[in-house]
Amino acid sequence: MNKRKVGNKYEDVAASYLINQGYRILERNFRIRSGEIDIIAESPQGVLVYCEVKYRYDNSYGTPLEAVNYAKRRQISRTALWHYTMNHYKDDKKCRFDVIVIYGDGMIEHIENAFDLYR
């Protein structure tokens, strides 16, 4: 299976997980020239959630969370700012950056507020 198919499979798993937790999926694979956000959702509390999904069969290349490095956080932040502005959210609309990690054994770890906005 190629990387895109694997990515889509685990993004589907993450989206289903979020829906089961009461989240509403707003967009998947939001893309602009500078980057992509895997899932954009709204939490049950009304918080706008920009979510990165990471899958790793094992930790031989580092943990999935380590793959969300400074450059990736910055790219996600810039893309999220574009999305936020483009959709005319009010200044008081809360948002956060989450990471969903899926391991080879099927375990899912949802890290809420995994990082702050990087400019």
What's 57-71 look like in SS3? CCCECECCHHHCCHH
**Average pLDDT for residues 14-24, to the nearest whole number?**
97
What distance in Å separates the CA atoms of residue 95 and residue 63, rounded to the nearest whole number? 25
Count the Cβ atoms, other than its own, within 10 Å of residue 43: 18
Q: Domains along the chain?
A: 3-115 (3.40.1350.10)
Largest alpha-carbon pair distance within the chain? 43
pTM for the full predicted model: 0.91
What's residue 109's pLDDT?
92
Categorize the per-residue pLDDT at 1 as very low, low, confident or very high, splitting at 50, 70 and 90. low
pLDDT, one tens digit per residue, over 31-88 is 999 899 999 999 999 999 999 999 887 777 777 778 899 999 999 999 999 999 999 9
What's residue 59's pLDDT?
76
SS3 at position 91: coil
What's residue 74's pLDDT?
95
pLDDT, one tens digit per residue, over 93-115 is 999 999 999 988 889 999 999 99
